[in-house]
Structure 1
C-alpha cells in the first residue's frame, strides 16, 4: 500500500509539474541577429511572445454576404479567417502590425493578386530604416514571400513570408503575413473583389 501511495503521489507531482510547464508562456528566440529574410521592423523583447488564438468564428456577425468570399483578420488573436462564397471555412495563423500606430482596422477588399511579388519599402519604412534596400525582386529573399494580395489601402497587403518566426507575432509594418504555403492556398481561393475586414 505504501508503494502505491508513493507511486500515486509521484504521478500527481509529475502531472502537476507538466501542467505548470505547459502553462508557462513560451518565449520565442531573439531574431535580432540579422539572419532574418524579412525586411520589416525587428522583433524586440517587448513583443517576442508568439501567440495565436485558434477559435472558429461565424461570418454573419461581420459580413452581410459571402459574395466573392470574405477575409476577417483578427489583430488581437493574430488569426486570418476566410470563408469561400459557398461558406467553406478556413483558419490560418498570421503576423500582424508591430504597433498600434502601424495598425489599420476596417473594411477593404483585395484589389490585385500578385503571383510573384517584388518589394519596395514605403517612404516611412525608409525613414525608420535607411539601411534597407530600395528594391527586392521576386525570389527567396523577398519579404512578401511567394504570393501577395494588395488591399485597397495603399501599401497594405496580405502576403507570404520566408521568415516563419514572424507568424503569430506583432512583427510587420502594417501588412498581414502568412506562411507561404497558406498564402498560396488563400491566393488560389480568394478573388479580386473579396471583401476584407480587419478588427
Structure 2
C-alpha cells in the first residue's frame, strides 16, 4: 500500500550520552541480576536495568530501546506497570515493583541466538542525512547486520555490541547474546484494541481492551511546541506496512531545498519507519522511526512516533474505526 505521509520528521531534544559498559556485563550477570537500592544509579550499563527492560517489554509495558540505562521511557513504563498491578505508580525501581515484575515472567532475560542467513543477506545501505538524497535510493534498508539484529531484539546497538565483544555480526552461524523479547511465557497479544489513548504530557500511547484495562503501553514522541499534536477523539482510518514517504514542501523543513513533492521508498530507515497507522486527521498518523533511541526523548513535529517494533505490534491490534483519543 502506498501512503502519502505528509508529516514532519525533524527531531529536537537532548541527545542520549554514550555511557560505558561494565566488564561483568554478560548473559549470566543479567539473568541472575536482582534488585538492590543502587540499581540504576550508576553511569554504566546496569545488568539489573537490562533485565528490567526486557521483562517490561515482554509484559507489553514497553521501555522503548533496551539499553540498560535509567531514562524517562523506563520510568514511564515502570509507572504504567505499577498502576496496572495495584502498586503506587511512582516510576521507582523498588523492591515491591521488582517482585511483581518477576512474577510476570520466569524465563531468562537474555538468551543465545545463532545468526541466520536472512540476518546478513541485506541489501544494506548507507542512509544519507538529506531527504532529497534518500529519495534516490531504491529502498531505505538497514545500514548493516548489527542494526538489523538490534532492532530485531528491541536493543540499542551499543548494548548489543557490549554483550558480544569481538563478535562478527555478519557471519551466519555465529552465536550471540540477545534480549529474550519473544519468550514463550509472554502474555498473549489482545486480538483487537477497543481504544487507543495518547497521553501527551507523559509521552506514552496506551492500548485499552473492552473492559477498559490497559493491555499495552508504548513510549511515544508526540508533537512539538511549533507543531503540537491535536486534541480530542479521532479514529484509525487505515494501516499501511512498509509505507512510502512523500515530502510536502509546504512544511519547508530546514535544510530541504526542494520546491516540489518527492517520494522516499519504503524500509525500516524510511522517515516514517516500517509502519504507518493513518488517522482521521489530514496528513496525520502513528508511525515508526529510523531512530528508535530518540522515541520519547525528542519531538516528532506533529505525528505520533513509536519504535518500529512497537508500531508493528500496535498495527496488529487496531483496525479501521478504532477510537484514538488525544489526552492533554
Q: TM-score, normalised by structure 2?
A: 0.41
2:233 to 103, 107, 115: 107
1:151 to 252, 271, 279: 279
Per the TM alignment, residue 120 of structure 1 is displaced from its structure 2 partner at its CA by 1.3
Structure possessing the higher radius of gyration over alpha carbons: 1
Q: Look up the match of 1:51.
A: 72
Alignment of 1:17-166 (within 5 A): 40-44=9-13, 51-52=72-73, 53-54=76-77, 55-56=79-80, 69-85=194-210, 89-99=215-225, 101-126=227-252, 128-131=254-257, 134-166=262-294
Distance in 1 (CA, whole Å) between partners of 2:246 and 2:252 is: 9
More off after superposition, 172-181 vs 119-128 = 119-128
Is residue 174 of structure 1 aligned with residue 302 of structure 2?
yes
- The size of the alignment, in residue pairs, is 153
Distance in 2 (CA, whole Å) between partners of 1:166 and 1:110 is: 25
Which sections of structure 1, spanning at least 5 residues, go unmatched? 1-38, 59-66
Per the TM alignment, residue 99 of structure 1 is displaced from its structure 2 partner at its CA by 1.7
Per the TM alignment, residue 139 of structure 1 is displaced from its structure 2 partner at its CA by 1.1
Which sections of structure 2, spanning at least 5 residues, go unmatched? 1-7, 18-70, 85-191
Per the TM alignment, residue 166 of structure 1 is displaced from its structure 2 partner at its CA by 2.1
Higher strand share: 1
CA RMSD of aligned residues (A): 3.0
Per the TM alignment, residue 128 of structure 1 is displaced from its structure 2 partner at its CA by 4.9
Distance in 2 (CA, whole Å) between partners of 1:84 and 1:96 is: 22
